Amino acid sequence: MKLAAPFALAACFALGSCTSRPAVDRDARAANVALGRRVFTEIYGGGDVSLVDELYTDDFVDDSPGGGKGRDLIKEAVADFHKAFPDLSIDIEDVFAVDNNVVVRYSAHGTQTGPYGQIPPTGKVVTVRGITIFQIVDGKITTEWTEYDRLGVLRQLGILPS
C-alpha cells in the first residue's frame, strides 16, 4: 500500500494530469502571449498606466516580493520606475505561454536621474534582467509574479559593493 502512492504520483506527472490548471487552446495562448508583450511594451516599457484598468482584473494580485492586491500597485510601480529611470527601455528576450500562464524574460535599461525608493539620483546607467509570470483569465491578468535582480540594481547604483 505504501508503495502505491509514489507510483501514482510518478504516473500523474508522466501523464501531465497533476495540475488543476485549465487547458487553453492555441488561439487563447497566442492571445495571452500578445497580452504579455503588450504589458511589457506599452505599460512597463512605455509607461502607459492608463492601460492597467483595461488589462488587469479588479481583484488583481501581485504575488511578487513586496506585492499586494489591486491594480494601483502596478500603476504606482510603473510611475515610480519611470520617474527614477525616465529613459527606461525594456527588451523582451523570451515570451511563451503554458496553459493560462505567460512567462516573459526581459532585460531593462535606464539611467537613474530620479529617486529610486530612498536612493537619490545617481546618474548611473543600470541594466537588469528579470522574469515575470502572468496568470491570465478571460483576457485579463489576475496574478503576477516578478523576480528581477534587485541586488544587481543596488550594486550598479553604487549602494552596495560589487
Higher pLDDT, residue 49 or 14:
49
DSSP state of 114: S
Q: Which pLDDT belongs to residue 67?
A: 86
Residue 134, all three cell numbers = 502572468
Over range 25-50, report the average pLDDT. 95
151, containing H or E segment = helix 150-156
Give the pLDDT confidence score for residue 19 in this predicted structure: 52
Q: In this structure, which amino acid lies at residue 1?
A: M
Sequence-ordered list of residues with C-beta below 8 angstroms from that of 116, at least 6 positions apart, any chain:
80, 84, 85, 153, 157
DSSP SS3 for 38:
helix
Please write the tens of the pLDDT for every residue from 2-16: 555 454 445 444 445
Gyration radius of the chain over CA positions: 19
- Residue 18: what pLDDT? 52
What is the per-residue pLDDT across 14-24, written as a single tens digit (0 to 9) for each?
445 455 555 67
Query: pTM of the entire structure?
Result: 0.82
Cα–Cα distance measured from residue 127 to residue 129, given in angstroms and rounded to the nearest whole number = 7
| Boundaries of every domain in the chain | 22-156
CATH for 22-156 is: 3.10.450.50
Instruction: Work out the mean pLDDT of the chain and round it to a whole number.
Output: 89
For residues 53-71, average pLDDT: 93
